[in-house]
Each structure stands twice: as structure tokens, then as C-alpha cells.
């Protein structure tokens, strides 16, 4: 299970998460969500669940989880 849940329909492609991710784990999708934005995609292999994406996101796209 991934450490970050991405609500892709809420993403507005502002790019704050992409810029502030310390592991460069976030990129934009190739396709569009229903609002017409390329949405954030998290590379689980690079993600350390630090939550920077959550912190910088204005639109509540991210939910961070950690293994129990």
C-alpha cells in the first residue's frame, strides 16, 4: 500500500508539491483529471512519507500514511 494517497480529482496542478518534495518523488501525470489538470503522481519507491506535499498543497490532494 502506498504511503501517500493522491486524490487526483482535487489536484489543480499548481506544482508546489513537485517543487518542495525533498526526494523529487512527485511528477505530473501524462493524462488529465476531469477538471483538465495534469495531476500529481507519487513515485512510491522514492517517497519517505515526510508530508511536505501535504503541507504545501492548497487543495487537500494528499493524505500521508506510515507503516504501523
For other proteins, the binding residues (CB under 8 A) are 1, 3, 10, 12-16, 19-20, 37, 49, 51-52, 54-60, 62-68
Least distance in angstroms from the C-beta of 40 to other proteins: 12
Least distance in angstroms from the C-beta of 21 to other proteins: 10
12 vs 41, beta carbon nearer other proteins? 12
| Burial status of residue 3 (CB atoms within 10 A of its CB: 0-12, 13-18, 19 or more) | middle
Closest CA to 6 of 30, 33, 24: 33
Amino acid at each position: 500500500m502506498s504511503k501517500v494517497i493522491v486524490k487526483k480529482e482535487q489536484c489543480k496542478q499548481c506544482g508546489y508539491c513537485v517543487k518542495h518534495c525533498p526526494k523529487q518523488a512527485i511528477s505530473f501525470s501524462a493524462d488529465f483529471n476531469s477538471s483538465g489538470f495534469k495531476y500529481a503522481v507519487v513515485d512510491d519507491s522514492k517517497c519517505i512519507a515526510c508530508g511536505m506535499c501535504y503541507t504545501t498543497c492548497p487543495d487537500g490532494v494528499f493524505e500521508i500514511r506510515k507503516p504501523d
